[in-house]
Amino acid sequence: MTDNKKSNRRKRAAITAILLLLALLIGWDRCTEKEEPKNDAGTSATTNIAEKHNDKEPHKPQPSVIRQKTKRNRRQKVTEEPVVSQKPVEKQPEEEIWAEMPVRKPVKTEPQPETKEEQNTVEEPAQQFAPSKHRFAIGVRAGAGYSSITSLGGMTESYNVRPQFTLKEKGSIVFRGGIFGTWRYGMIGAELGVDYLRLSGSTEKNTAAINLTEKMSVGSDALAPQLMFRFYPYDGFYMSAGAMAVLPFHTSVSYETSRTGTIYRQQDELAAKHLRETVSSNVQFAPALKIGYTDKNTGLEAAIEYDYGATDLLHTKKNEYGYTERCNNSHYIGVSIGYTIDLSKKVQNKKD
């Protein structure tokens, strides 16, 4: 029994020794596999040098070298697969450029408060000078001017004969007033209005032979619708051109002489009556020019206007008193002051 026990112990010891040797061999093999890449460069370099020096007789690798190469090829195959899978993830050239550039804080595209103030200071005069929105206003105006009617003397006296008298034609100071509305967009605009207008003129005839002075005055009250187009070369200052139609609704004629006495006074009244029956007013077309200024803060407006009556204002009917029809025109130049209300501001205030 003792011999059997001893033989078993020996067998066990031999088996454990063999197992330990196998473990040591496996561990050594693994250690050589991990350290082999460091020596690959040297082995490859030595093989390359040997192949360069021995071109005629190629170098025959030893079995251990062949084993190392096969192991290396296997490792390369294993390591190449993840490299191929990582190729699509490689950075594009633009991404690499942006990655190399230094990181900067993003610039805010929204304007800062200071820039807004600067923009307001720069754009405010431009908006005043040439607003980009339609602006409407209504107002009233009144003024006075000088009016005259041409060829009044030729209606009562003939110029074909040698004159035995002196004749002077004069104008008169008249009143004008009405309502109007304006539209403006940028540097252009328009004005539409209706005014009450009086056009009048007078004549004074002196006859030296009988020492007689005769005075006659003719006046026409009318409504004058007007359309003007404006141009604003400067903020508030405008120049306009257009036309108006004179629509008379009443004609007044007066006549008097330097003679005294009841009989002469009755004769003068009869002559004035004949004149009123003979002379009447026609619709007249009158081109117009105007220069003015509008203050946007107060709404006050001042303008100077000239109107030229291009067609006949007065018409003379057939009569037995020697009054003849003459081509007569009218002139008016006057100053007006008005007050306007900006409708655009009112609408904006209601919205706010």
Q: Which domains does the chain have, with CATH numbers?
A: 2-100 (no CATH), 133-351 (2.40.160.20)
**According to the model, what pLDDT value does residue 158 have?**
66
pLDDT at 340: 94
Model pLDDT, residue 303: 97
B/e letters for 116-132, b = 16+ CB within 10 Å, e = fewer, are: eeeeeeeeeeeeeeebe
Judge whether 230 and 187 are in contact, CB under 8 Å. no
Give pLDDT, residue 103.
55
Q: Which amino acid is at 72?
A: R
Closest CA to 243 of 226, 258, 265: 226
Question: Which pTM does this prediction carry?
Answer: 0.60
The two structure tokens encoding residue 197: 């207008």
Identify the pLDDT of residue 154: 79
pLDDT of residue 72: 56
Calpha distance 345→341 (Å, rounded): 9
Determine the distance from the C-alpha atom of residue 195 to the mean position of all C-alpha atoms in its chain, rounded to a whole number.
33
Stated length of the chain: 352
Query: Dihedral (C-alpha) 68, 70, 76, 81: value to the nearest 10 degrees?
Result: -150
Would you give per-residue pLDDT tens digits along the chain (352 residues)? 556 677 777 778 888 888 888 877 787 777 665 554 444 444 444 455 445 444 444 455 454 444 555 555 555 554 444 444 444 545 455 555 555 555 555 555 555 555 544 454 444 444 444 456 889 999 999 999 999 998 888 777 766 655 677 888 999 999 999 999 999 998 999 999 999 999 999 999 888 778 888 898 999 999 999 999 999 998 889 999 999 999 999 999 888 888 888 888 888 888 888 888 888 899 999 999 999 999 988 999 999 999 999 999 998 887 776 777 888 899 999 999 999 999 876 555 555 4
Cα separation values, 249 from 40, 196, 199, 281, Å = 122, 11, 12, 8
